[in-house]
Structure 1
């Protein structure tokens, strides 16, 4: 038997008044054109906080990190050669932000669900920016030397120390500044923040945890995680980070991605994990607006209990069997 990936699941909303499901289910009706502006207006505070996070991130990259004491005896693990980045810094936003956004937009083209598009983009941006701020704040506070710190500090290979045994660097100030930003790895934390969010998103959309036993679906979910792991490995291979740096960065990015995802979407293993919370709230709102004016009073009274309980059709509707 083959396995099927469903990207537009059928909802099961019904009412006890036997109204046709199409009247209560939004399906693909709430689009960018119809509800996008109102949705963005409702979340304007979230977007303003994102701008604040961008400003904080820029400031953390401008200020100098803590210049930790580096003695001659510590140089044994800091004499690796300086290498270029296998994954350049400009490529990080491409695969950690633009790639997931492309997936979100392709799903929107299929389903036309503005709630899914807006909240997935908002959650992703929060994930990477919160991760970036945490990462750079820790970098500046810790000031751990990179594995290639010796040649950043002494490009000519001739080391020099003061009377306390601390290094007296004569290299490029920009290289020295960057050499004190080893822990945690920014490439790694951003990669796991963006691609980890994408992995959670995909696991929900393809119903990875629907208990049908299709393990092959996990291959799709693990692809973004594998890409993030390869980026982390490249940071160690390039001698820009110690293994502890990339391990901490990966955990940090994945934890933040999980928290941000769960702010907008149910856990992927739940039956309604395929859609954002806002979608189901909108469905409930549509259903409430479609109820007859006296529906609440009718449901709240205990008149004619015998006929109500004796009516099997009504019991079927209440239990969701019709």
Structure 2
């Protein structure tokens, strides 16, 4: 396919054009960041916590096994590195741009939904007693028996943000997106039965799951908080991924929608190059479907996929 060559659409040659096309999406990302900051500043709902409810909220206060600063590294930086490595292999700015955009949308939308629910629900954390009464002496309203906290305001505020788990939702949003991204790139669902590919895809999900488990072990969250956070993160990640990429089990799951659209437009401009004899196999022509024909000339030919799939016949 002479009109579509690897390295023909790089950051240097087409990066500005692609970014301008999605300028409104980047502006929405900035808006999501502002909303996220506001949600972390406002005071969450202070749910009634009676004296008899403290039995399940007396777990000791512990440091975070996975600190707050480590979550963006796992959920954003790690997937970004993988996406960047693939760009240097294939040199496709469409894949790079849409993968980064989808990843950021996945994490930020998840963050906004998570913190909005946290503030609205105001569920106390398992270690709420020690946050509320650091000296161990409980003080309660004589009439309602509601807590009358004597601890630091900032610590108490954080104690009302148990549901859902932010660590878990962010981890599943970023690493879940990475798992879907890898599924398409290494063609997990190519029906060849390579279980090793599944191990590669499940690794990010395992890391996210371990982050969630650490939140229960540290007594920062109830198990329901972690379950809800994981479900929220992976759901948003799936929607954001499918916004920019075909489903991983599809023949064209290795590339973004924008790439195939660009190929189709270029073939309309150069109809003589629409079907290249050297790239179209007889088995691909037998179906006679226009959609299949438009995709045949766009089979990925990057080295990383050649090594894992051998000849690319579908």
How would you bin the TM-score normalised by the shorter chain? Answer: 0.7 to 0.9
Normalised by the length of structure 1, the TM-score is: 0.84
- Report the CA distance between 1:289 and its aligned residue: 1.1
For 1:259 and 1:269, the matched residues in 2 are separated by: 15
- Report the CA distance between 1:142 and its aligned residue: 0.1
- Report the CA distance between 1:318 and its aligned residue: 9.5
Residue 38 (structure 2) aligns with:
59
**Judging changes above 3 Å, is the alpha-carbon distance between structure 1 residues 135 and 317 closer, same or farther for their aligned structure 2 residues?**
closer
Residue 53 (structure 2) aligns with:
74
Are the equivalent residues in 2 in contact too, given 1:191–1:231 (CA < 8 A)? yes
For 2:197 and 2:27, the matched residues in 1 are separated by: 37
Number of aligned residue pairs: give it.
Answer: 280
- Report the CA distance between 1:28 and its aligned residue: 2.9
**Judging changes above 3 Å, is the alpha-carbon distance between structure 1 residues 318 and 267 closer, same or farther for their aligned structure 2 residues?**
closer
For 1:126 and 1:26, the matched residues in 2 are separated by: 29
Residue 84 (structure 2) aligns with:
105
Normalised by the length of structure 2, the TM-score is: 0.86
Asked which structure has the greater CA Rg, the reply is 1
Residue 132 (structure 2) aligns with:
153
Q: What secondary structure is seen at the aligned counterpart in 1 of 2:7?
A: coil
Residue 4 (structure 1) aligns with:
none
Q: 83, 89, 92: which is aligned to 2:68?
A: 89
- Report the CA distance between 1:22 and its aligned residue: 2.2
Residue 278 (structure 1) aligns with:
258
Are the equivalent residues in 2 in contact too, given 1:26–1:283 (CA < 8 A)? no
The one-character-per-residue Cα deviations of 1:125-153 (angstroms, maximum 9, x if unpaired) are 00000000000000000000000000000
Residue 258 (structure 1) aligns with:
238
For 1:192 and 1:291, the matched residues in 2 are separated by: 44
For 2:136 and 2:189, the matched residues in 1 are separated by: 55
Residue 3 (structure 1) aligns with:
none
Following TM superposition, the consecutive aligned residue runs of length 4 or more in structure 1 with deviations greater than 3 angstroms are 316-322
For 2:232 and 2:149, the matched residues in 1 are separated by: 32
Matched, 1:120 2:99: yes
Q: What secondary structure is seen at the aligned counterpart in 1 of 2:140?
A: coil
The answer to which of 146-155 and 156-165 deviates more is: 156-165
Matched, 1:234 2:214: yes
Residue 16 (structure 1) aligns with:
none
- Report the CA distance between 1:216 and its aligned residue: 1.5
For 1:146 and 1:217, the matched residues in 2 are separated by: 38
Residue 17 (structure 1) aligns with:
none
- Report the CA distance between 1:285 and its aligned residue: 1.2
**Judging changes above 3 Å, is the alpha-carbon distance between structure 1 residues 275 and 156 closer, same or farther for their aligned structure 2 residues?**
same
| Coordinate RMSD, CA, aligned | 1.8
- Report the CA distance between 1:26 and its aligned residue: 4.0
Q: What secondary structure is seen at the aligned counterpart in 2 of 1:22?
A: coil
Are the equivalent residues in 2 in contact too, given 1:65–1:181 (CA < 8 A)? yes
Matched, 1:176 2:131: no
The one-character-per-residue Cα deviations of 1:106-131 (angstroms, maximum 9, x if unpaired) are 00000000000000000000000000
